[in-house]
Structure 1
Amino acid sequence: MNMMRMKLRHYCTFATLSLLALLLIIPRVLAAQCVQQASLRKPDITEIISSGWPTAPDGPYTWGYCFKIQRGNPDSHCKPSVEWPCAPGKKYYGRGPIQISYNYNYGPCGDAIGENLLRNPDLVAADRVISFKTALWVWMTSTSKPPMPTCHDDILGKWKPSTSDTAANRLPGYGVITNILNGGLECGHGFDEKVKDRIGFYLRYCKILGVSPGENLDCGNQKPFGHFNSIYVE
């Protein structure tokens, strides 16, 4: 058991450090980026990515970044789309460091990185370079209608909320990143256990990197950008 635990911890550390080395950006960006895979969850199963648990060795927020494929028995994650039609027999559940999901994300992401991810979504889990390219695409891109900020611009402080954003309590900070990715599920209804976990992971990474977490970490009082999210909103 101890040997298996050591191997798992080694893999988790390697995965985290690989992303940090790839990004080469400022510490708060790294902390926020790390959390999204460590705590990302979807509605169809109880727990997919979060590796933390109350009795985990070294604390509940020390075991993120351990899985490259959505856990459980996910459905196809295929939504009707003329522009990004699903390939027969393919599933678009979460894969990669930030668990890109749904055909409407696999399609434009594949176009951006030069891979046909609609036809072969398994590349995201099988090819480490493609995997991290998808993570960077999710982090740096907004494909929503109307446009949302990118996660990157928010955490860097480049995003300036509009009057409607301010009225919706969407203010710059880590909470907006949760809103961008999963706001329709996790934001705008007060306390949410999944959001608490995200913040817990984020604070841990900020402490490790020696950076202030900033303000507005929660999204409980923010109006969601969309009714569901997972990046795309219309």
Structure 2
Amino acid sequence: MALLAAVLVATGLTVTLTPSATAASTASTATVCDTAPNWQQGVWYTTGNVVRYNGAYYIAEHDNPGYDPTVSTWYWNPHTCGGGGNPSPSGFVVSESQFNQMFPNRNSFYTYSGLTAALSAYPGFANTGSDTVKKQEAAAFLANVSHETGGLVHVVEQNQANYPHYCDWSQSYGCPAGQAAYYGRGPIQLSWNFNYKAAGDALGIDLLSNPWRVQNEAAVAWKTGLWYWNTQSGPGTMTGHNAMVNQAGFGHTIRSINGSLECDGKNPAQVQSRVTKYQQFTQILGVPTGSNLYC
């Protein structure tokens, strides 16, 4: 299993992150539309927000100060929450059959339902821009996840000798779960006490005291992966989400996840592995790869 190396800033410290992150929070079967508020004029909306308007749903394509959802497709687009134009009842652009095709040998822990339950934590993920961009982002995330976990086979870091190394005692909160408790877990192999704390704080879960939830609860695991993808730029200059939504290219997602070890000619075989998987997944979803595939 490939190890993730990224750089995160924790409480003023720049620290090297090896195996990192995946999906967090309690499992929920509610969709984004189940909790979508009625649109209100003058309320600030950010990219990815979903609202109900005259019995229909709309998703914000760009931040706006409460513009009417039917005025401009630059700010709003119609949003289907199951059936209709979506390939799955969950509203995710990857159907369960496509997910199974991507990961034929996956560990049973990594359930499709766990992934779709995790989507509510970051509603803009694979849900921003055109249908092509949405599918490209999903393919990019899942391609990197596949590389990090050997095709969604590994739930925890395989090298147990590394386990005691992921405790940064300089943090004021220390390592309450034990020095060897913060090893890599989940789709992007979340590791280090400060990353468990940051992901848990963002997701409303105490992962610092109970990091085992990431290897025991599928939705939590997926949410930590989405936390990293949507909020962390690591050694890169942008998050994986922004790289795909702004069409900077798949190569920038590699840089944000493991660029310090793989990019700029450091490990071309690993980069090619990620690119090849992305090409396979975009083909399954029926969209082009876009440009700038390498880093």
Is the shorter-chain TM-score for this pair beyond 0.5, marking a shared fold?
Answer: yes
Any unmatched runs of 5+ in structure 1?
A: 1-7, 41-48, 51-63, 159-171, 220-234
Q: Distance in 2 between matches of 1:217 and 1:107?
A: 32
Give the equivalent residue in structure 1 for 2:285: 209
1:15 aligns with 2:110: yes
1:105 aligns with 2:185: no
CA shift in 2, pair 1:218/1:130, >3 Å: same
Which amino acid counterpart does residue 82 of structure 1 have in structure 2?
Answer: Q
Give the equivalent residue in structure 2 for 1:125: 215
Which amino acid counterpart does residue 149 of structure 1 have in structure 2?
Answer: M
Q: Distance in 1 between matches of 2:290 and 2:282?
A: 10
Give the equivalent residue in structure 1 for 2:274: 198
Give the equivalent residue in structure 2 for 1:91: 181
Which residue, 228, 233, 253 being the options, matches 1:138?
Answer: 228
Contact 1:142 1:148 in 2 (8 A): no
Q: Which structure has more helix as a fraction of its residues? A: 1
**Offset, 1:189:** 2.5
**Offset, 1:93:** 2.0
Number of corresponding residues = 177
1:218 aligns with 2:280: no
Give the equivalent residue in structure 2 for 1:188: 264
**Deviation string, structure 1 residues 55-112 (Cα, Å, up to 9, x no partner):** xxxxxxxxx1222212232333223442563233343222112222222211111111
Normalised to the residue count of structure 2, the TM-score between the two structures is: 0.53
CA shift in 2, pair 1:183/1:84, >3 Å: farther
Q: Distance in 2 between matches of 1:106 and 1:206?
A: 31
Q: Distance in 1 between matches of 2:234 and 2:220?
A: 22
Give the equivalent residue in structure 1 for 2:163: 75
Contact 1:155 1:173 in 2 (8 A): yes
Give the equivalent residue in structure 1 for 2:137: 29
**Offset, 1:13:** 8.4
Q: Distance in 1 between matches of 2:286 and 2:186?
A: 26
CA-based RMSD of the aligned residues comes to 2.8
Normalised to the residue count of structure 1, the TM-score between the two structures is: 0.66
Which amino acid counterpart does residue 34 of structure 1 have in structure 2?
Answer: L
SS at match of 2:110: helix
Any unmatched runs of 5+ in structure 2?
A: 1-102, 120-125, 128-133
Contact 2:233 2:256 in 1 (8 A): no
CA shift in 2, pair 1:122/1:16, >3 Å: closer
Point out the structure with max Rg over C-alpha: 2
Stretch of structure 1 that moved more, 178-187 or 17-26: 17-26
